[in-house]
Structure 1
Amino acid sequence: MTATIIDGKAIAARMRDETRAEAQALTDAGWAPRLISISVGDVAAAELYVRNQQKSAEAAGVAFEARNYAETISLEQLQGVIAGLNADPRVNGIIIQRPLPAHIPVKALQKAVHPLKDVEGMHPSSIGNIVYNDLTLGPCTAVAAVEILKTLPLKMEGLDVCVIGHSEIVGKPIAFLMMGLGATVTVCHHMTRQVAVHSRAADAVFVAVGKPGLVNGAMLKPGAALIDIGINRVNDSEGRGKTVGDADFDSCAQVAGWITPVPGGVGPVTVAILMKNAVLATRMQLEHYRAAFAAAV
């Protein structure tokens, strides 16, 4: 068996077309969607992400501004910056680029972003809403992975799913999202004794650990869907750097029914979800301001 390679770029392009139409409608109404990206210190590690986000924003009709602050800025100063952006109706979404300096905890900044402008879906309230199957502004990578699975000819109700990795922003949200769709979910982590026992029983496997080659073909049920969310930099046999996922692609492709490549799988869809969230956040803010300042009748 040779797996069908899932084209994340094509899925992202379809989503981007829908987002662009909605962004234009908001612009015509006087609410042009606008994102602000915040990075701190040396931006080399985040530069590629920022560049890709800007390109996707432009393609989706969303204004994008990247702001970089000195590494010496304090947490309190950054929280003040975010408070100002929260209060500015011309700003509809705030992105916190990682990594951050050691003295600035990312969770503190995520909490500082107003939930209506949390386009990354990282605010505790956004994460918590998933428990109630409320996807108003969900965490982008988790939502992207599930959206990819939904494009496949698989019935979500009763689907046996294995999630390898239980991070707060990817693994756990995926588990709740899939349960909300009616799937039966097993979550594996670093204390799971026999991961392969669980993954071989699953109709769909999500892996998001950050360990290249963690999943191989022997760990999959024939015909299963494999959604690889990992992003790792490794060197090939000639010492050249390349990007790979958490799965051994060659062996998994011989067993799986569908598989996401890395790059070109979950990544493009994640950025498309970010833009979709930006437009949705703008719509929500428009409605919020209309309700708050509507003339009394």
Structure 2
Amino acid sequence: MPDQARIIDGKAAAAALRAEIGREVAAIKAERGLVPGLHVVLVGEDPASRVYVASKEKLAAEIGMNSVAHRLPAETSEAELLAKIASLNADDTVDGILVQLPLPRHIDTGTIIDAIDPAKDVDGLHPINAGKLAGGKNGLVPCTPLGCMLLLRQALPALSGLEAVVIGRSELVGRPVAQLLLQADCTVTIAHSRTRDLAAVVRRADIVVAAVGRPHFVRGDWIKPGAAVIDVGINRTPDGKLVGDVDFAEAIHVAGAITPVPGGVGPMTIACLLRNTLTAFRARRG
């Protein structure tokens, strides 16, 4: 086994995926005169959300999609936001709707997600899409879990029969990525803060997906030699550095393949948002 794990380059994978989507968008425009449309709704002035929305706009425009951001003031009421979503649901030029989270405290996130047309829910969070995923049916899949799976398929020649441990049970990442791993015929364990002897559970895994939001939580000696490690965590340390949920400096000497932070799963999330917009376009328009 090599002294260091192979780095799973999320930046390169995301760039390749965006280029592929761009070619398909150009072909659709040339053949049918139509352009997939992604609309992002941002409520308030959260700095991280503003940067993220601007990046989505820029990358969508680069591949030839119609990209529109609806920036609403922080005092926007829940009723006003629901009215905006209703108008986007009814607009046939809109293929994908994403409401940037987190929302201001006076707006109920679940109510807003439930209001989005499931056929336009490119975040894959609507209960209908979650139900389709749980049932193994075609629907729109949350972007980060989808990105995790695309990176895993690059890192491993075959997933069938492998043992996977997902650390974290959130509706955004942990649960959907576990469903996707099940569909790939992995044997899946969802571990979390109440799991007994978590280190021993992780040591069984051929695949580790860490999504707990705690810096350097997963230690190198938890990793089975040669395992593929997908680190979803993005944590900022007191000195301003971005680090993952896995102790990269330790794990790189044990794992067979590992995603860095930054430059691993993060770039794939926006690329998969664009892919979901194209998927929604096709499903809606044939």
Q: TM-score by structure 2 length?
A: 0.96
How far does residue 155 in structure 1 lie from its aligned partner after superposition?
Answer: 2.1
Residue 95 (structure 2) pairs with residue 92 (structure 1): yes
Structure 1 distance, partners of 2:156, 2:281, is 33
Aligned residues: 283
Structure 1 distance, partners of 2:62, 2:72, is 26
Q: How does 1:150-161 map to 2 (within 5 A)?
A: 150-161=153-164
Query: What is aligned with 1:11?
Result: 13
Deviations 1:236-267 (A, max 9, x none): 3xxxx111110111001111110100111001
Q: How does 1:69-108 map to 2 (within 5 A)?
A: 69-108=72-111
Structure 1 distance, partners of 2:148, 2:251, is 18
Deviations 1:23-47 (A, max 9, x none): 1222231321111111111142302
Structure 2 distance, partners of 1:62, 1:109, is 25
Structure 2 distance, partners of 1:141, 1:107, is 19
Aligned partners of 1:162 and 1:205 also within 8 Å: yes
Structure 1 distance, partners of 2:206, 2:16, is 26
Query: What is aligned with 1:280?
Result: 279
Query: What is aligned with 2:57?
Result: 54
How far does residue 52 in structure 1 lie from its aligned partner after superposition?
Answer: 1.8
Cα RMSD, aligned residues only: 1.2
How far does residue 135 in structure 1 lie from its aligned partner after superposition?
Answer: 4.1
Q: TM-score by structure 1 length?
A: 0.92
Name the % identity: 43
**Correspondence for 2:70 among 49, 67, 70:** 67
Structure 1 distance, partners of 2:96, 2:249, is 39
Instruction: Identify unmatched segments of 5+ residues in structure 2.
Output: none
Q: Which amino acid aligns with 2:81?
A: L
Aligned partners of 1:127 and 1:169 also within 8 Å: no
Q: Which amino acid aligns with 1:285?
A: R
Instruction: Spell out structure 1 runs of 4+ moving beyond 2 A.
Output: 25-28
How far does residue 205 in structure 1 lie from its aligned partner after superposition?
Answer: 0.2
Instruction: Identify unmatched segments of 5+ residues in structure 1.
Output: 288-297
Structure 2 distance, partners of 1:152, 1:39, is 35
